[in-house]
Amino acid sequence: MRRKDESGVWIVAGALGAMALGIALIPLRTVTSASNLAFVFLVFTIIVAELGGRSAGLVAAVVSAISLNFFLTEPYLRLSISKPDDIVAFLALAVCGLIAAAFGRRRERWSELAGREGKDLDVVKKLVEQLRDGRPLDDVLDDLRRGLGLGAIVLRGTDDRILGAAPRGATPGVPETHLTPETLMPANETRIQFGTRGLRLPPGGGRLSRPVGNGVVSLDLWEGDTHGLGLDEARTLMIAMAILEMELSRPRHGGAAPIQVSAKR
């Protein structure tokens, strides 16, 4: 189940759970004050925010406050409060619930960040394994493209000779924009676009270049979606390019000559 689907499930669970909790606590409303019962809703909101993220936590906090008001404060079964202590309990539950939801969002961001870093490590590991096993360069680049969510990747030599392309056979042209290593920032453009994850590649693609012996190898990149690439993806691309550089420079299996990169003109 994708994270978006999981969040939707927890939003529904937070809303229905808060209402069910209010009904379940009705027998206790004459035994103890609403301020004491508010702690039960607060614990519930913290659990939902931790497991379901910010949106689910917000829904649980709001519905919990309404449920406390409707089922457990006088006058019962009405959205009004007559006792000052109950008003304090209602406001305290609402505020604490929103704080719990905010912390749930922070946990969600850290979880997403850890997941992306793990994915980036898997991309590099798979790249090394495929090159070690002698997989065709087009297939290696295609897996790298899909792993980083790119639209196309073309590996070229100094004379713009295509050494490998993904998708296989792709010839989207030569990008005019050179990208700065480490950040992927365009080196010769003033307009920079950002997506939800980070920097977006230029519409016409961007080029990363590294020297190889007496020549230069270039990795041309095209955007796959509008979310952009974060610093982790940029770092992964530079690591991947360094690995490809070493692969182009070393002798092939069986003593065959390395892939040649033309000398600078």
Note the pLDDT tens digit of each residue in 75-92. Answer: 888 878 777 777 887 888
Please indicate, yes or no, whether the overall pTM of this predicted structure exceeds 0.85. Answer: no
| Residue 26: inside a domain | yes
Q: Give the CATH number, domain containing residue 182.
A: 3.30.450
Provide the domain count of the chain: 2
Looking at the fold, whether 34 and 107 belong to one and the same domain comes out as yes
Q: Specify whether 12 is located in the same domain as 87.
A: yes
Q: What is the pLDDT of residues 206-217, one digit of tens each?
A: 888 887 767 788
In a domain, 60, yes or no: yes
65 exposed, middle or buried (CB, 10 Å; 0-12, 13-18, 19+)?
Answer: buried
In a domain, 76, yes or no: yes
Q: Nearest-CA neighbor of 221 among 235, 238, 208, 234?
A: 208
- Among 112, 145, 172, which residue terminates a domain? 112
User: Quick check: 18 pLDDT over 70?
Assistant: yes
- Distance between CA atoms of 150 and 258, rounded to whole angstroms? 27
- Answer yes or no: is 261 within a domain: no
**Gap between the Cα atoms of 191 and 195, Å rounded:** 14
pLDDT digits (tens, 9 = 90+) for 141-168: 998 888 888 889 999 887 888 888 888 7
pLDDT at 256 over 70: no
- Average pLDDT of the residues in 46-64: 84
Quick check: is 223 in a domain? Answer: yes
C-alpha distances out from residue 246 to 47, 61, 138, 243, Å: 49, 54, 17, 5
Rounded Cα gap, residues 89 and 31, in angstroms: 16
Contacts of 100 (CB under 8 A, 6+ apart): 42, 45, 46, 49, 57, 61
Looking at the domain assignment, is residue 18 inside a domain? Answer: yes
| Whether 105 and 144 share a structural domain | no
Instruction: Look at residue 21 and tell me whether its pLDDT is greater than 90.
Output: yes
- Is residue 200 located within the same domain as residue 233? yes
Q: Are residues 155 and 206 in the same domain?
A: yes
Q: Which of 56, 78, 112 is the last residue of a domain?
A: 112
Average the pLDDT over each of 15-19, 98-102, 242-246 and give the range with the smallest value.
Answer: 98-102
Does residue 227 fall inside a structural domain? yes
Report the percentage of the chain scoring pLDDT > 90. Answer: 9
Residue 27: give the domain boundaries: 3-112
pLDDT band with cut points at 50, 70 and 90 for residue 124: confident
Backbone angles phi, psi at 206, to 5 degrees: -140, 155
**Does some domain include residue 122?**
no
pLDDT at 118: 56
